[in-house]
Amino acid sequence: MKYSTEDIIDTASKLKFDSIRDRYVKEDSLSIVMSHCGVFSQDLVNSLGEGAEEILIASNEKRQMIRRIFSVLIEGLQNIKIHGEPNKEDVKSGILVLAKGENCYKITFGNLILNDLVSSMDDRLTELNTLDEVELKERYMKVLSEGILSNKGGAGLGFITMKMKAKSNLNFHFQKVSKELSVFTFELVIQRLIENA
The better pLDDT of the pair 161, 93 is held by 161
- Give percent of the chain with pLDDT exceeding 90: 46
Instruction: Work out the mean pLDDT of the chain and round it to a whole number.
Output: 84
**Short-list 81, 25, 104, CA closest to 95:** 81
Using CA atoms of 130, 117, 119, 176 in order, give the dihedral in degrees to the nearest 10: 110
Q: How far apart are CA 169 and CA 28, in angstroms?
A: 22
Q: pLDDT category, 153, cuts 50, 70, 90?
A: very low
Q: Going from the N-terminus, what domains does the chain have, and what CATH number goes with each?
A: 5-191 (3.30.565.10)
Torsions phi, psi for 7 (to 5 deg):
-60, -40
**Helix, strand, coil % over all residues of the chain, rounded to 5:** 50, 25, 25
**What is the pLDDT at residue 14?**
77
Contact 175, 9 (CB under 8 A): no
Asked whether the predicted pLDDT for residue 64 surpasses 60, the reply is yes
